[in-house]
């Protein structure tokens, strides 16, 4: 990685690649906040520049259009969702055999936390006509794998087919809830996610051993 050197003997300066990534992150952070505050349509490159502290020219150096900024935000959301899914998969042994409420929190709590960190997700998950954009297969596969790991730990005597069906049902519930979330005002999204947790709890309760 190339490193620029100062001309006055002060030593190394921040590498161009690192400075560029930091600037991109600042631009995306600003865009995320503005989409939440005023909506995607009202978010302009000029306002993103003002919020991020970058010049308009600097933004166009990284992103040719406003939509390219939104595409980068969507990709960041997908990457973070896959990281959350991996965290669930790795942490599942700690909570998978606890009471059902703890199990549900372990399964969907990290996604609720993620939503609070990416408030622009609901609006950017739909196009200008209000239709949901295609789902990302890689992210869906990561989430499904995390669920299957947790299900195998909680219901070790269930078959792979049974666990797969449960994962598919949860995905269907989650997909429907996500579609509704995209039209829910930001102020109501936390309460909406709590209702989502209750829906998941109710479904999984039907598979719990009964006395």
pLDDT of residue 129: 57
By the 8 A CB rule, do 196 and 122 touch? no
CA angle 32, 45, 49 (to 5 degrees): 80
The per-residue DSSP string of 86-136 comes to: HHHHHHHHHHTTS-HHHHHHHHHHHHHHHHHH-TTHHHHTB-TTSPBPPPP
Residue ranges of domains in the chain: 13-64, 72-205
pLDDT tens per residue across span 190-208: 777 888 889 999 999 999 9
Mean pLDDT value across residues 63-68: 94
- Looking up tokens 């100062």 gives 6
pLDDT of residue 128: 60
- For residue 4, is pLDDT > 60? no
User: Would you call 12 helix, strand, or coil by DSSP?
Assistant: strand
User: Would you call 126 helix, strand, or coil by DSSP?
Assistant: strand
Name the token pair of 25.
Answer: 């992150």
How far is Cα 41 from Cα 89, in angstroms, rounded to an integer? 37
By the 8 A CB rule, do 113 and 51 touch? no
pLDDT of residue 136: 87
pLDDT tens per residue across span 12-48: 444 467 888 899 999 999 999 999 889 899 999 999 9
> CB neighbours of 178 closer than 8 A, spacing ≥ 6?
125, 132
pLDDT of residue 13: 41
- For residue 3, is pLDDT > 70? no
- For residue 10, is pLDDT > 70? no
Assigned CATH topology for domain 13-64 = Arc Repressor Mutant, subunit A (1.10.10)
pLDDT tens per residue across span 145-180: 999 999 999 999 999 999 999 999 998 888 887 777
User: Would you call 132 helix, strand, or coil by DSSP?
Assistant: strand
- For residue 5, is pLDDT > 50? no
pLDDT tens per residue across span 103-143: 999 999 998 888 888 888 888 887 665 667 788 899 999 99
By the 8 A CB rule, do 96 and 103 touch? yes
pTM over 0.75: yes
pLDDT of residue 133: 76
Task: Enter the DSSP assignment of 5.
Answer: B
Beta bridge partners of 5: 12
By the 8 A CB rule, do 113 and 91 touch? no
pLDDT of residue 130: 65
Of the candidates 88, 90, 46, the residue with the CA atom closest to the CA atom of residue 69:
46
């Amino acid at each position: 990685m190339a490193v620029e050197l100062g001309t006055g003997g002060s030593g190394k300066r921040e590498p161009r690649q690192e400075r560029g990534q930091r600037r991109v992150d600042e631009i995306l952070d600003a865009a995320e906040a503005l989409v939440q505050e005023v909506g995607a349509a009202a978010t302009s490159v000029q306002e993103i520049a003002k919020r991020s502290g970058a010049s308009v020219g600097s933004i166009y150096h990284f992103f040719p259009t406003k939509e390219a900024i939104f595409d980068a935000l969507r990709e960041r959301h997908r990457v973070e969702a896959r990281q959350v899914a991996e965290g669930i998969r790795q942490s599942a042994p700690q909570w998978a055999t606890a009471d059902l409420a703890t199990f549900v929190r372990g399964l969907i709590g990290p996604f609720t936390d993620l939503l609070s960190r990416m408030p622009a997700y609901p609006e950017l998950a739909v196009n200008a006509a209000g239709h949901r954009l295609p789902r990302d297969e890689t992210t869906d596969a990561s989430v499904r794998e995390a669920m299957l790991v947790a299900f195998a730990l909680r219901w070790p005597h269930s078959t792979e087919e049974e666990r797969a069906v449960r994962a598919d049902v949860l995905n269907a519930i989650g997909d429907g809830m996500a579609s509704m979330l995209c039209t829910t005002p930001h102020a109501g999204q936390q309460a909406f996610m709590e209702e989502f947790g209750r829906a998941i709890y109710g479904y999984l309760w039907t598979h719990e051993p009964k006395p």
